[in-house]
Amino acid sequence: MGAEGASKRKQKALVVAERRAKVAELYLKQWPQVRIAREFGVSQGTISTDLKAIMEGWRKSAEADVYAAKVRETEKINRVELEAWEAWEASRQPHEISEREVTGPENERVPGKTKLRVEGSSGDPRFLGVIRDCIAQRCKLWGYNAPDKTALTDSEGKDLAVRRDMYIGVLQRMPDEMRQIVAAVREEARGGEVAAIQNEPG
């Protein structure tokens, strides 16, 4: 009985999977749900459930694709950073400088002795710049950075918060009589809007 039930469930799941594959195809052809339901002889509610499952599968697939792309790009960044670290370490190593001792009159080429001297190095800072850029790219790719703050602006591109503060400052410096006039004008304007709404044809 248990094996038979499992077989029936498997068969039903196969039928649903085959139907949903065809439903997805018709959906992409802009067929409405009612027409798709008639095509398969099922209710519109069944097709709606199918489409929800299809879209959830698409969403998961898209997320997996995005994640895989991020992993690939991260590997590229990691390789660049690793090479930059190796180049940085190499640039810090002491290096030999050859010097030739010249004996003889000025401007006369004569054989001389060559000696070597070793100089230390503090490293090439350009490689640190590459490493810093790699870290910044990786943080941006995975969303580790704090979101950028965007100031609200008016049609002229001016910060609304600044304009609000300026307006409040002007009001505070106004005489009482002027503030009362401004308040009255605003109240009158608001009343006109209400009247216009009430007089709209119903």
Residue 21 sits in which domain range? 13-67
Same domain, 24 and 62: yes
Whole-angstrom Cα distance, residue 95 to residue 116? Answer: 10
Residue 2 lies in a domain: no
pLDDT tens-digit readout, 127-161: 999 999 999 999 999 988 876 666 566 666 666 66
Whole-angstrom Cα distance, residue 114 to residue 101? Answer: 6
DSSP class of residue 146 equals P
Query: Cα separations (Å) of 193 from 96, 186, 190, 198, 199?
Result: 85, 11, 5, 9, 10
Residue 64 half-sphere exposure toward CB, CA atoms < 13 A: 6
**Intra-chain end-to-end CA distance of the chain, in Å:** 67
pLDDT of residue 70: 93
Residue 152 lies in a domain: no
DSSP class of residue 148 equals P
Tally of domains in the chain: 3
Location of structure tokens 């790719």: 141
Within 8 A by CB and 6+ apart from 68, the residues are: none
Average pLDDT along the chain:
78
Same domain, 122 and 94: yes
Backbone angles phi, psi at 122, to 5 degrees: -90, 0
pLDDT of residue 14: 92
**Under a CB-based contact definition with an 8 Å cutoff, are residues 152 and 159 in contact?**
yes
Residue 61 carries which side chain, given as an amino acid letter? S
pLDDT tens-digit readout, 169-181: 655 655 565 556 6
Same domain, 136 and 168: no
pLDDT over threshold 60, residue 202: no
Residue 23 CB: number of other CB atoms within 10 A? 24
Same domain, 76 and 125: yes
**Under a CB-based contact definition with an 8 Å cutoff, are residues 20 and 42 in contact?**
no
pLDDT of residue 5: 73
Same domain, 75 and 131: yes
Whole-angstrom Cα distance, residue 201 to residue 52? Answer: 42
